[in-house]
Amino acid sequence: MSVHVISIDQYFDKDLLAKLYKRANDFSKLPLADYPKPLQHLTLATVFFEPSTRTRLSFETAIQNLSGQLITVENAGDFSSAKKGESLEDTILTINAYADGIVMRHPQIGAAKQAAKVSRVPIINAGDGGGEHPTQALLDLYSIQQCRGKIDGLSIGLVGDLLNGRTIHSLVQLLAQYHVTIYLIAPDSLQLPAKYLKLLKSNGATIHQVDNWDKALGKVDVLYMTRVQKERFKFVEDYLAIKDSFILTPKQVAKMKKEAIILHPLPRVNEIDPAVDQDPRAKYFEQVKNGLYVRMALLEYLFKH
């Protein structure tokens, strides 16, 4: 039976996280020439119906670093038989003939779950519309742990499009396993969906929902920025009305703790001034690198477990 990665709430408990993060840390310290070759007889397919830079390239680099083979379809909505009207199920069954695992991004919420129902090989959800992005959450939590040395006891500010942000939806499910204080910093129209809010509260997290970050900036240990996602809005006017609600500049960063860190799943649009990049608290490009090691650890676990 295939082990899929569809949602972060499937089996990613603290024990598994510890194993994955230890392995990711091992990979981060090894030169490329010394990487093991556990997946040398396996082929991974990356199939992206939505654009991607970091997720697609990190998975493709990860499988090759572990000596596996790669086949890839970028812009699959236009450059696969989906353009001709082929169903997602038929596309997945076809790729099953060529690959031992499939990393898939799709604009439709629930598409990864739909694919997993028919696939005989593991499906890894690389983002399903405004649903989830589980592997991003894995690397986000790893980045927090690496930078701050712990998760319990931290105050974490989640900023921007909490309604449509699939990275946020997956990350809060991991954070719910820890004793944290969370500031949900967003316009009222983009606040976190009720089901995730309920999960956090039921697990004992302290929650502050705010539409102004002035008082929160000096309290958070982690500021997790996200962009307002234009592609999730039905009307462009609604997007334009709130897209500039939270823009992080050196002026705002100066209000933060010296030991705080700034993360962002990227891509950014204008929500972080490039001048912030020079601040030692800006860790979003380290976060990108961490994604490679975490995804290497995940692929090794899925195929060798």
Q: Give the residue numbers marked as catalytic.
A: 54-55, 84, 105, 133
Closest CA to 278 of 244, 255, 249: 249
Cα(151)–Cα(155) distance, integer angstroms: 9
Contact 203, 179 (CB under 8 A): no
Instruction: State the distance between the two ends of the chain, measured CA to CA, in whole angstroms.
Output: 12
Contact by Cβ (8 Å): 210, 185: yes
Spatial neighbors of 234 by CB under 8 A, at least 6 apart, are: none
If one counts every other C-beta atom within 10 angstroms of the C-beta of residue 291, the result is 27
Residue 265 to residue 285: CA distance in whole angstroms = 9
Q: Which residues of 243-256 are buried (b: 16+ CB within 10 A; e: fewer)?
A: bebbebeeebbeeb
